[in-house]
Amino acid sequence: MTQLNRQSASPIKALALASAAAMVLVGCAAADEEQETVAPTASETQEPAAVGGNMVVGITVDPDTIFPWKATQFQAFRMLENVYDTLTAFDADLNVVPGLAESWEISADGTSITFDLRDGVTFADGSSFGSEDVKYSYEAIQDEENAAVARSTLGGVTSIETPDADTVVLNLATADVGLLANLTSVNLAIVSSDDTEESLSTATNGTGPFVLESRTAGQNVVLARNSSYWGNPTPLDTLEFRVLPDEAAIAAAMSAGNVQMAVFSDPITARTVSGGVTVNTTPQLSYHALMLNARNGSMTSTDVRLAISCAIDRQSVLDTALLGEGEVTGPITSPAFKSDPNARPCPERDLAKSAEYLAASGNAGGLEIDAIVAQDLYAGAVDIAQAVAAQLAEANITLNLEVLESGTYIDRWIAGDFETAIALNGGRPDPDGMYGRYFPSTGNLNQVSGYSSDSMDKLFADGKVEGDPAARKAIYDAVSKELEDNAVWVWLFSGYTYTATSDTITGFTPMTTGSWQYLRTTGLQ
């Protein structure tokens, strides 16, 4: 677990540590467990959580839906993960572990997966869970009319069989090794076959550790312990997601002890929280990139793209725009498949080489390109754009920034209507889940990625069916290499999130996926 655990007793001291955070991150990760035991913490974090209590998590906007198949918003997603279950799940290290399926067996050719479902599971309304619920849920997700966001995950599933109430068989068109990991998303939550989107839009009915107790628009969402949960009952009686629209207000509420946990987008806010609070810095799978649309304008030239790639010092952009709070990354951020961040035609910034590429592309005299930048979609976009533009300017490349309102930016991004785009894209634990939609020519985001090739199509097809982990890693290394060698995009870095937890809570582990699934083991002292 790459995670930095730090007591922040004094905000000023914490700030002094902040600049060192990025450098010591890797080194600290291994020593993390020792640190827990060696350094005495303000409260006894090792003590098992007492049962009972009401915990408050501060959020800036309320969850926009309580229907799991349509949830994309961070807050909705994080809340629903604690209400609904999926067939498979992740542990803290992103290994696939049993969820509602206790075990599974993959056929020799990989085209059929047989899940043995957990016994004695019931939905919150008391009805029992069985294979027909899985079939119902997955078929409904596959139905285009339902506009479920994870439909493409089940795109390769040709049929779903239910030999008995405890067994589900997914038949696939071709093997799909990443499927088990991709099934962990709450967008593929299993709901009761008696429920519909309509019934689940006003009340929840899941198999998870919590049930929805109340929801007040603009104010809060309250979850209560699901007493019939199949796993260990959650220590908390209730879990409230309280809306405090301003991060500073959340920090103030935490200092005053009204809120026990919150995620902050910038380290400074997190560290202004006073009192007994721990700030966990968690690297994210999502990544910042300068997307180059290889089908548009001068970006069609590989030399131009390489010239851009060679002219950018990723670490320096990170230092300026995000105060060094993050780590330089290659294309794949999935922990088990991580790309080597330095495996690039220019591992270091190389202006001479950039100039060579630029000359080779016939633009020796310089080049002017456009970039779209989102104004208020996520923090830091404009800062990153500026830092990138400043570096490209030294390579005789003028980057014209079009800073757009988020609605306009999204429209143009979706249409692939840009030469280059400063973007923050989501990552996934499985590389096929992460890029299988972008780079194969059949991917539903290929239009946006602006790049495809026969070799890329073949690599992704192979990666889907390769069962041997080492061989699969080699395939995605090759994907990574092709992406970097052709400077398909310029991958910059991944940021961190800052989870502030009051020292009165125990048993919570933040995850690189941003998940709050460990709220189910969280207790108050």
Helices vs strands, H then E, count in the chain: 16, 21
Residue 460 CA to residue 436 CA, distance in Å, equals 7
Among 225, 288, 437, 520, binds another protein (CB under 8 A): 437
- Secondary structure letter of residue 156 according to DSSP: T
252 binding another protein? (CB under 8 A): yes
255 binding another protein? (CB under 8 A): yes
375 binding another protein? (CB under 8 A): yes
Sign (positive or negative) of CA dihedral 10, 12, 13, 14? positive
Sign (positive or negative) of CA dihedral 172, 175, 179, 181? positive
Residues in binding contact with another protein, number by CB under 8 A: 79
Among 17, 268, 336, 351, binds another protein (CB under 8 A): 268
258 binding another protein? (CB under 8 A): yes
Q: β-strand 101-106 against 505-506: which pairing, if any?
A: unpaired
The total number of residues written for the chain in this structure: 525
Tell me if 61 sits within 8 A of 243, measured CB to CB.
Answer: yes
In this structure, what are the phi and psi dihedrals at residue 418, rounded to the nearest 5 degrees?
Answer: -160, 155
- Residue 16 or 30 with smaller CB distance to another protein: 16
Q: β-strand 367-374 against 420-425: which pairing, if any?
A: parallel
7 binding another protein? (CB under 8 A): no
CB of 240 vs another protein, minimal distance in Å: 7
Among 191, 404, 434, 500, binds another protein (CB under 8 A): 404
Rule CB under 8 A: which of 294-353 touch another protein? 319-320, 323-324
65 binding another protein? (CB under 8 A): yes
* Tokens linked to 310: 């060679």
CA 347 → CA 91, 97, 319, 473, distances in Å? 34, 37, 17, 21
Tell me if 360 sits within 8 A of 246, measured CB to CB.
Answer: no
First vs last C-alpha separation in the chain = 25
CB of 380 vs another protein, minimal distance in Å: 10
Question: 353 has which bridge partners?
Answer: none
Closest CA to 309 of 290, 327, 295: 290
Tell me if 216 sits within 8 A of 193, measured CB to CB.
Answer: no
Among 219, 228, 296, 504, binds another protein (CB under 8 A): 219
196 binding another protein? (CB under 8 A): no
CB of 26 vs another protein, minimal distance in Å: 20
Region near another protein per CB under 8 A, out of 188-196, 399-407, 491-499, 503-511: 399-407
Question: 422 has which bridge partners?
Answer: 290
- Residue 26 or 147 with smaller CB distance to another protein: 147
Rule CB under 8 A: which of 462-501 touch another protein? none
Tell me if 403 sits within 8 A of 382, measured CB to CB.
Answer: yes
416-436 core/surface letters (b: 16 or more CB in 10 A; e: else): bebbbbbbbbebbbbbbbbbb
383 binding another protein? (CB under 8 A): yes
- Residue 128 or 258 with smaller CB distance to another protein: 258
In this structure, what are the phi and psi dihedrals at residue 407, rounded to the nearest 5 degrees?
Answer: -60, -45
Closest CA to 290 of 271, 305, 273, 279: 305
240 binding another protein? (CB under 8 A): yes
CB of 500 vs another protein, minimal distance in Å: 12
- Residue 72 or 342 with smaller CB distance to another protein: 72
Region near another protein per CB under 8 A, out of 83-91, 224-232, 238-246, 307-315: 238-246
CB of 245 vs another protein, minimal distance in Å: 5
Among 44, 93, 405, 468, binds another protein (CB under 8 A): 405
- Residue 255 or 525 with smaller CB distance to another protein: 255
247 binding another protein? (CB under 8 A): yes
Interface pattern 13-42 for another protein (x via CB under 8 A):
--x---x-----------------------
Region near another protein per CB under 8 A, out of 177-185, 329-337, 378-386, 492-500: 378-386
Tell me if 179 sits within 8 A of 185, measured CB to CB.
Answer: no
- Residue 72 or 398 with smaller CB distance to another protein: 72
The set of residues, in sequence order, having a beta carbon less than 8 Å from that of 270 and lying 6+ positions away, is 8, 251, 264, 279, 498, 500
Interface pattern 140-179 for another protein (x via CB under 8 A):
----xxxx-x-xx---------------------------
Compute the radius of gyration of the chain from its Cα atoms. Answer: 24
Interface pattern 116-135 for another protein (x via CB under 8 A):
--------------------
- Residue 29 or 149 with smaller CB distance to another protein: 149
Amino acid occupying residue 22: A
* Tokens linked to 131: 């294979």
CB of 91 vs another protein, minimal distance in Å: 26
- Residue 273 or 307 with smaller CB distance to another protein: 273
Closest CA to 460 of 488, 429, 437: 437
Question: 328 has which bridge partners?
Answer: 493
Region near another protein per CB under 8 A, out of 251-259, 341-349, 479-487, 503-511: 251-259
- Residue 42 or 410 with smaller CB distance to another protein: 410
- Residue 61 or 359 with smaller CB distance to another protein: 61
CB of 304 vs another protein, minimal distance in Å: 24
CA 427 → CA 140, 155, 406, 438, distances in Å? 25, 19, 20, 12
